[in-house]
A and B are shown apart, each in its own frame.
Chain A
């Protein structure tokens, strides 16, 4: 593919219509994220970082400007194709874990594979491997409510990884965790980035968490106000 960047946004605008008039959530944001990068997105609430992440995750569409994910112009796709793209390319990790409470950990991790039409046997096999890799080999059949928050977030990471994504989008993944557990989770992210070369974009408002990333970008009032490495060079080693 001629497009080397995993994420490329150009002159991105997002405008919401509210009762009080239009709100400019994103203004003229241009940046690229290359394979192997670990980017922390920072900013106060209302800064536009959530909107930015939603657009990155193909969960929302910009008002104007361009967004290429893995070389694909996201806005040109219909919702089902966007869903397919999310499924193929992105792994999501949420602040509140968002595991399905009725399903076992194995089924939770295998869920993305259900939507990429992978058969039950392979699904379970891959989900098992992922759970083992985050250190939850004893809990395959457990329900999410039987394990701790840190463990739940590890399950969520396993779920994000199960379909071999190019990009992991983590929205405040440590927001609901204590400091020690946060550290463990961040170690997993760092390891994924450095050992496996997975591109990670992580939203946080905690400086110490952001320090795990190699590149930090900051939003304020919808503008991209700072970027450690504007040209975006890969920092991890690609396998």
Chain B
């Protein structure tokens, strides 16, 4: 019975091939668009989530204050008002896991005949935990290196690739940073792009004291541009923010009504905003694509109504020969479902192919999950049932004598 009905439906669709193909096209485009848009949306989400993860979690960045000289206001971090002593004090606060004072700069690196300009970050071993770096070979430098300002460096992957020849093992080698020799003690694992598109692996970590005394020099001994502060948990973040601000007010002798000489930013909150934004974007993409699926469904309904009218007499004959209401209903419903499911199959192919093409042409990350294929399949079958129901019901409700008389 089922097999007979399937082949019957197949033949009915084949009888008017052009019309069938055009009707399916609506479905094909709809499903294809949904798959493609979901792939792009999920790809974006994937990239954003990855860079959020690579940033580290529950993070604050505390920036040194701005300065005003001759009416010219410099940006945050222009005056290094934060000190290593501030960092030590903050690390004593409840709810603070790690503090990594940071003195960034740009320097020329040399090894053998290669040289490379990169950002050099003077910091403490805490940075490893705060930024969730992995040390893939060698070891990170320690507190003693910070205390005695040793010339040791941890290299990011991009730096290794540009400074060393392929296959060369960097740990234990001596490189030059602004002419001073530094011992490479370790290599950092890859992190990829940051949220704003910078290459996070294009960096060198050195002890903060070494950076200040032996590479960049500093206006005030022990002052840093900013520090990264990691709270023990997301729940502890508001408390940490408050106590940290109070502590810095106290230590910097800032009275009420005075401007702060530092600022505290909640990086995790920013990242969450970015994550929410991409999520909303990917939902919107899916929703817009779903509209084309809906339009495809209406196309199916339209053509099924035409088909029912055209085949009124056939329906009458079938009823006279003993077809029950549900036989007629099933026949037309099956046709509508077949239309939408075949359309859906082709659409999935189109969506997957289209995603691959987008990836190839634009380099955009696309993620196609089994879920999105299964989902669009279920939706397509649902569309077939939903939009096929009315025409099929109309067919099943025809009065046999009227139907037989129909010319």
B325 at the interface (CB under 8 A from A): yes
Q: Which residues of A contact B321 (CB under 8 A)?
A: 86-87, 92, 111-112, 115, 159
Query: How far, in angstroms, from A79 to B316 measured CA to CA in the complex?
Result: 14
Asked if A115 and B404 make an inter-chain contact with CB atoms under 8 angstroms apart, the answer reads no
Q: Which residues of B contact A54 (CB under 8 A)?
A: 401
Query: Which applies to chain B's interface (DSSP): helix, strand, loop or mixed?
Result: helix
Query: How far, in angstroms, from A5 to B4 measured CA to CA in the complex?
Result: 36
Asked if B320 and A79 make an inter-chain contact with CB atoms under 8 angstroms apart, the answer reads no
Q: Which residues of B contact A112 (CB under 8 A)?
A: 321-322
Count chain B residues whose beta carbon lies closer than 8 angstroms to a beta carbon of A.
23
B249 at the interface (CB under 8 A from A): no
B252 at the interface (CB under 8 A from A): no
Bits for A155-178, please: 1 = Cβ < 8 Å to B, else 0: 000010001000000000000000
Q: Which residues of A contact B18 (CB under 8 A)?
A: none
Q: Which residues of B contact A59 (CB under 8 A)?
A: 319-320, 400-401, 404
B72 at the interface (CB under 8 A from A): no
Q: Which residues of A contact B178 (CB under 8 A)?
A: none
Query: How far, in angstroms, from A202 to B320 measured CA to CA in the complex?
Result: 16
Asked if A102 and B404 make an inter-chain contact with CB atoms under 8 angstroms apart, the answer reads no
Query: Contacts A83-B323, A83-B324, A117-B1 known; A102 to B12 CB distance under 8 Å?
Result: yes
Bits for B313-337, please: 1 = Cβ < 8 Å to A, else 0: 1101111111111110000000000
Asked if B317 and A100 make an inter-chain contact with CB atoms under 8 angstroms apart, the answer reads yes
Asked if A94 and B318 make an inter-chain contact with CB atoms under 8 angstroms apart, the answer reads no
Query: How far, in angstroms, from A163 to B321 measured CA to CA in the complex?
Result: 10
Asked if A115 and B12 make an inter-chain contact with CB atoms under 8 angstroms apart, the answer reads no
A120 at the interface (CB under 8 A from B): yes
Asked if A102 and B324 make an inter-chain contact with CB atoms under 8 angstroms apart, the answer reads no
Query: How far, in angstroms, from A163 to B3 measured CA to CA in the complex?
Result: 21
A60 at the interface (CB under 8 A from B): yes
A111 to chain B, nearest CB (A): 6
Query: How far, in angstroms, from A94 to B326 measured CA to CA in the complex?
Result: 24
Q: Which residues of B contact A88 (CB under 8 A)?
A: 322
Asked if A79 and B324 make an inter-chain contact with CB atoms under 8 angstroms apart, the answer reads yes
Asked if B313 and A98 make an inter-chain contact with CB atoms under 8 angstroms apart, the answer reads yes
Count chain A residues whose beta carbon lies closer than 8 angstroms to a beta carbon of B.
26
Query: How far, in angstroms, from A111 to B320 measured CA to CA in the complex?
Result: 11
A17 to chain B, nearest CB (A): 15
Partner of B322, one of A83, A98, A102, A120: A83
Instruction: Identify which of residues 290-329 in chain B touch chain A, using a CB-to-CB cut-off of 8 Å.
Output: 313-314, 316-327
Instruction: Identify which of residues 384-400 in chain B touch chain A, using a CB-to-CB cut-off of 8 Å.
Output: 400
Query: How far, in angstroms, from A215 to B1 measured CA to CA in the complex?
Result: 40
Asked if A116 and B322 make an inter-chain contact with CB atoms under 8 angstroms apart, the answer reads yes
Query: Contacts A87-B321, A114-B4, A120-B4 known; A100 to B400 CB distance under 8 Å?
Result: no
Asked if A115 and B324 make an inter-chain contact with CB atoms under 8 angstroms apart, the answer reads yes
Query: How far, in angstroms, from A117 to B326 measured CA to CA in the complex?
Result: 14
Residue of A nearest to B326 (CB): A80
Bits for B122-153, please: 1 = Cβ < 8 Å to A, else 0: 00000000000000000000000000000000
Instruction: Identify which of residues 210-261 in chain B touch chain A, using a CB-to-CB cut-off of 8 Å.
Output: none
Q: Which residues of B contact A120 (CB under 8 A)?
A: 3-4
- 10 A-B pairs, CB-CB below 8 angstroms? A79-B324, A83-B324, A86-B322, A94-B317, A100-B317, A102-B15, A103-B11, A112-B322, A115-B321, A120-B3
**A-B residue pairs, 7 tightest by C-beta:** A87-B322, A115-B322, A80-B324, A98-B317, A59-B400, A83-B324, A112-B321
Additional pairs, 9, CB under 8 Å, beyond known A80-B325, A83-B323: A57-B320, A60-B401, A80-B324, A83-B325, A87-B321, A87-B322, A103-B11, A112-B322, A159-B321
B interface residues (Cβ-Cβ under 8 A, vs A) = 1, 3-4, 11-12, 15, 313-314, 316-327, 400-401, 404
